Structure 1
Amino acid sequence: MAIVRVGLDIAKQVFQVHGVDGHGKTILQKTLSRPQVLTYFARLPVCLIGIEACSSSHYWARELRRFGHDVRLMAPHFVTPYRKNGKNDANDAEAICEAVGRPNMRFVPVKTEEAQAVLTLHRARELLVSERVALSNQIRGLLGEFGIAVATGMAKLRQVMTELHTGARALPLLAKETIAELYERMLSLDSKAAEYERKIAMLAAQSEPAKRLMKIEGVGPITATALVASVGDGKLFRSGREFAAWLGLTPKQYSSGGKSRLGGITKRGDVRLRTLLIHGTRSAMRSMAGKTDHKSRWVAELQRRSCNPVAAVALAARNARTIWAMLVRGTEYRVA
């Protein structure tokens, strides 16, 4: 019988293929080298192909779709339960083949080259920001060795470094020179991160979906471009609640025997998107204080009943549902 479903376990050089027919019977088990992959699938009759969402998976999905195949990406933790035996390439490919055929499986949107290029800019900026934080912490720690305690915030650190430069604070010459060199490196990272942010702002201004999303409270150029590049048109998700669950903004369930118990958020999905949304809502909540519109009153009631972090996550989940609706329907933001 013809192959109807294939599980493809990808790697750098060795690729494992597992195919089944319409009855689920295994009729293909094959190992391919990297140069053989495209040639092999170009000759294979059109079928459903499953791949774990990992490094280079979006590239292979785009390439295989050019041959007419229906390629779907899945999070690795959704594939693991379908692996029957020990972990190896053949068992992984079999598990992928089984998982991709499940009717209720959740799939990862396949990104275009343009979307991946935008996310490359985001990843580079995040690396610079993390390096800047590491340098600032190193400087604070070194200053602390000489009895100089620096308060939280980059502004306080800059103030102390200015005082060191002007001689208002004394340090041994060698320590002063070393810390000054670290501070110069931090300033160069500041400059480069600002350059990346300007590029992201330009991309947001050129993107029609991003411009619409930026009208939501707490969604700026960085969040908007990251969402558009990662999610696309949002049609892979059946509802806004499913999109919020994919982001990990919904509660964990510990329900049994008819008793429903909800815990903290699941933290599944894209960590960066979830972080951007939550940080954005924290900023938005400050500007919403004292306002009388429905959304602001809803946030204020949440803050009264619980606390600011819970309200921020709840608002982020609400914004996620709004974002899904705007991307799928192509509508403008309407203040609730």
Structure 2
Amino acid sequence: MSEVALVGIDIGKHTFHLHAQDRSGREVLRKKCSRQQLMRFFSNHPVCTVVMEACAGAHYLARELKAAGHDAKLISPQFVRPFVKSNKNDFVDARAICEAASRPTMRFVAAKTVEQQTLSVSHRIRESLIRDRTKTVNQMHGFLLEFGISLPTGLAVVKRLASILEEHDLPVRLIALLQRQHDHFVYLEEQIKVLDKELESQLADDDLGSRLLSIPCVGPITASLLAVQMGDGQQYSCSRDFAASVGLVPKQFSTGGKPNLLGISKRGDKNLRRLLVQCARVYMLRLEHQKGPLAEWVRSLSMRRHSNVVACALANKLARIAWAITTRHTQYEAEPDVTNA
């Protein structure tokens, strides 16, 4: 087993499929094992490079393998798919992971720490609660509309529910159900507020998150999620790479030497991309109060481009600023406005 240089693991819930190869790419091992057998296998195995797809459980497994002395790497599943040959099975997937990892230009995903993963869980629970809150409000609108009661969009149904139930002759059972929906909305609202306070308190103790808050119009939620997704930022060679990973760069479809740029690629974490675009829109709404080169750049761009294009361009700029703050261990400092100096 000393000749093994690279091991690809196809991760499952209970079983794991291993494909090992030497430095020349020749297969030297195929093995199926349970979770306990997997950790026992690598604890007794000489140090090697272990590669997995970045999926559920991969970050935990990468930390455990690194603790055992191995070099654990994660690959985005979209980069492994082209290397799957012929019919698909777990061993073929493990071999495809090895082939993808052998490419010198392959991009890897940084393994998250325990703190980053925990913070990521908080963000995902918060997003789930927000979706449930929106669904609850929409259901209340729909139920009332079925009985001929039309209300403005938004939270009007929640604020005016008591008066609506008094003004209209509705079935008793329907009133009870709507009141139950209202109570569920109040519960979701309280849970979201609790999570927001927890994220803000965690951010106050995080040096990186506190520095990211110095970026214009970036609030605690966006700064916290940036800190989770970016880590130390070393997995990106430049700020544009980080902006591209969030999907804030044009999608390219060029051929025959003729460049053709489309809309933004929308790759990566859509929640982070949405938050950055919202931060950009808030900055644009307060543009008359903003100063410095960034504000002048936005004003100049707004004169010749649509507001949606400007918002995406500014979100790209904010992502680049966040990467620079992370990697250089600094905070955002707006340069003086040259035109008013």
Residue by residue over 1:22-55, the C-alpha shift from the partner in whole angstroms, topping out at 9 and shown as x without a partner, is 1111111111122100110112211111100000
Residue by residue over 1:209-266, the C-alpha shift from the partner in whole angstroms, topping out at 9 and shown as x without a partner, is 1011011123211111112122211111100001111111111111111111000111
Question: Aligned partners of 1:213 and 1:22: how far apart in 2?
Answer: 42
Q: Please tell me whether the aligned partners of residues 83 and 95 of structure 1 are also in contact (alpha carbons under 8 angstroms).
A: yes
Query: What's the offset of the Cα at 1:291?
Result: 3.8
Question: Aligned partners of 1:279 and 1:179: how far apart in 2?
Answer: 32
Pairing 1:99–2:123 present: no
Choose 135-144 or 117-126, whichever is displaced more: 117-126
Distance 1:211-1:292 versus aligned 2 partners, 3 A rule: closer
Question: Aligned partners of 1:300 and 1:7: how far apart in 2?
Answer: 50
Residue by residue over 1:60-98, the C-alpha shift from the partner in whole angstroms, topping out at 9 and shown as x without a partner, is 000001111111111100111111222110110001011
Question: Aligned partners of 1:168 and 1:207: how far apart in 2?
Answer: 51
Choose 286-295 or 226-235, whichever is displaced more: 286-295
Choose 289-298 or 20-29, whichever is displaced more: 289-298
Q: Which residue in 1 is equivalent to 2:10?
A: 9
Structure 1: stretches of 5+ with no match in the other structure: none
Q: Which residue in 1 is equivalent to 2:87?
A: 86
Distance 1:290-1:170 versus aligned 2 partners, 3 A rule: farther
What amino acid is the match of 1:230? Q
Q: Please tell me whether the aligned partners of residues 249 and 274 of structure 1 are also in contact (alpha carbons under 8 angstroms).
A: yes
Question: Aligned partners of 1:26 and 1:291: how far apart in 2?
Answer: 60
Query: What's the offset of the Cα at 1:304?
Result: 3.0
Question: Aligned partners of 1:315 and 1:9: how far apart in 2?
Answer: 39
Q: Which residue in 2 is equivalent to 1:29?
A: 30
Query: What's the offset of the Cα at 1:177?
Result: 2.7
Q: Please tell me whether the aligned partners of residues 252 and 265 of structure 1 are also in contact (alpha carbons under 8 angstroms).
A: yes
Distance 1:15-1:138 versus aligned 2 partners, 3 A rule: same
Question: Aligned partners of 2:167 and 2:302: how far apart in 1?
Answer: 44
Question: Aligned partners of 1:275 and 1:237: how far apart in 2?
Answer: 21
Question: Aligned partners of 1:292 and 1:213: how far apart in 2?
Answer: 19
Q: Please tell me whether the aligned partners of residues 14 and 32 of structure 1 are also in contact (alpha carbons under 8 angstroms).
A: yes
Distance 1:162-1:286 versus aligned 2 partners, 3 A rule: farther
What amino acid is the match of 2:4? I
Q: Which residue in 2 is equivalent to 1:164?
A: 164
What amino acid is the match of 2:65? L
Q: Please tell me whether the aligned partners of residues 150 and 160 of structure 1 are also in contact (alpha carbons under 8 angstroms).
A: no
Q: Which residue in 2 is equivalent to 1:66?
A: 67
Residue by residue over 1:309-333, the C-alpha shift from the partner in whole angstroms, topping out at 9 and shown as x without a partner, is 2211111111111111111110111
What amino acid is the match of 2:160? V
Question: Aligned partners of 1:205 and 1:170: how far apart in 2?
Answer: 51
Residue by residue over 1:138-193, the C-alpha shift from the partner in whole angstroms, topping out at 9 and shown as x without a partner, is 00111222332222322x2333224225x355544433332122111101110111
SS for the counterpart of 1:305 is coil
Pairing 1:294–2:283 present: no
Q: Which residue in 1 is equivalent to 2:338?
A: none
Choose 140-149 or 325-334, whichever is displaced more: 140-149
Pairing 1:217–2:213 present: no
Question: Aligned partners of 2:307 and 2:168: how far apart in 1?
Answer: 38
Question: Aligned partners of 2:164 and 2:131: how far apart in 1?
Answer: 25
Q: Which residue in 2 is equivalent to 1:268?
A: 267
Query: What's the offset of the Cα at 1:305?
Result: 2.2
Residue by residue over 1:101-133, the C-alpha shift from the partner in whole angstroms, topping out at 9 and shown as x without a partner, is 222111111011111111111111111111101
Pairing of 1:30-69 with structure 2 (within 5 A): 30-69=31-70
TM-score between both structures, scaled by the size of structure 2: 0.93
Question: Aligned partners of 1:89 and 1:173: how far apart in 2?
Answer: 56
Counting aligned pairs with the same residue, the percent is 39
Q: Please tell me whether the aligned partners of residues 137 and 158 of structure 2 are also in contact (alpha carbons under 8 angstroms).
A: no
What amino acid is the match of 1:253? Q
Question: Aligned partners of 2:295 and 2:144: how far apart in 1?
Answer: 43
SS for the counterpart of 2:116 is helix
SS for the counterpart of 2:3 is coil
Q: Please tell me whether the aligned partners of residues 16 and 32 of structure 1 are also in contact (alpha carbons under 8 angstroms).
A: yes
What amino acid is the match of 1:223? T
Pairing of 1:138-287 with structure 2 (within 5 A): 138-154=139-155, 156-164=156-164, 167-168=166-167, 171-287=170-286
Pairing 1:309–2:308 present: yes
TM-score between both structures, scaled by the size of structure 1: 0.94
Question: Aligned partners of 2:110 and 2:269: how far apart in 1?
Answer: 12
How many residues were matched structurally?
Answer: 334
Q: Please tell me whether the aligned partners of residues 14 and 34 of structure 1 are also in contact (alpha carbons under 8 angstroms).
A: yes
SS for the counterpart of 1:51 is strand
- Would you identify which runs of 4 or more consecutive aligned residues in structure 1 move more than 6 Å? none
Distance 1:307-1:169 versus aligned 2 partners, 3 A rule: farther
SS for the counterpart of 2:318 is helix
